A = this chain, B = another copy of it.
């Protein structure tokens, strides 16, 4: 038996009232591939956004290689945040989750304490065939959870690919988790990701590993000082912490808030959000154009005929593109 979906008014009302069931349904709508779900989701988001950007919210990216303890740290951090009277939503971007059956956040038992916290909302990564699709869904889900009153949004990524660039393009502050050691652990992390980080946290600084964590901290402190200064004037900070014992979690969150305060005071926070909105507009235009192009029957026929010529080097890629685009744009020139 099919259940009727709530109307867009019901969605908007429920979300604004902080109803977690309605919020969850709305996210499912955003994640759906069905066009009627898509249209309804856009309508809901349209209503929710009518009041303007949630400039009071804080969006935090947390990344790090597998095994660095991201889930445990997010649980510790999220619990700390809720104790300060905030509401926290934890989302994820993992384009591999459909393959790995949800390698990150797929299993709520990994954040057992936080998932039972009434001021926390945890949602596993949407699945999808492309990073672009997954990232877009997460970006729209941010708008939903913020409208439901979650003023702190944590975006988790796996730290090994392009997902970090996507997370960076939708958050206000970027945190990179590292393991004790000095340099070796960088092998799993692309250099560009270190350069994106506002805050680096050497996790597992407990017991026998405390000394090693301190050395890693010094190593990364030196390494980040070689990087060019950030646009917002912030010098990346390197800390040690232990998500397991809780040591350093308060200090870590204080540092996030120090970054936020500086960014808001010098205006970078708002400028960055505008740039991100523009970036996503361009991305959405490009993605929409591409799918319109490749769904066009005439384009498919033309490409099927021309592509082998291009691959054989008998036709320049540029000439082929012009012919294909002429087919696509023909109607408009009429």
Contact = CB atoms under 8 A, between A and B. Distances in A.
A325 interface: yes
Contacts of A312: 52-53
Contacts of A321: 281, 284-285, 287-288
Interface stretch (A77-85, A171-179, A233-241, A326-334): A326-334
A46 B314 CA distance: 8
A130 interface: no
Nearest to A321: B284
Interface string A43-77: 00110011111110000000000000000000000
Interface residues of A, number: 57
Interface stretch (A8-16, A153-161, A270-278): A270-278
Interface stretch (A91-99, A252-260, A289-297): A289-297
A314 B284 contact: no
Contacts of A191: 190-192
Copies in the complex: 2
Contacts of A288: 321-322, 325
A315 interface: yes
Contacts of A50: 314
A49 B140 contact: no
A143 interface: yes
A136 interface: yes
A293 B281 CA distance: 13
B313 A140 contact: no
A274 B325 contact: no
Name, among A42, A226, A314, A318, the residue most crowded by chain B CB atoms within 10 Å (CB to CB).
Answer: A318
B136 A318 contact: yes
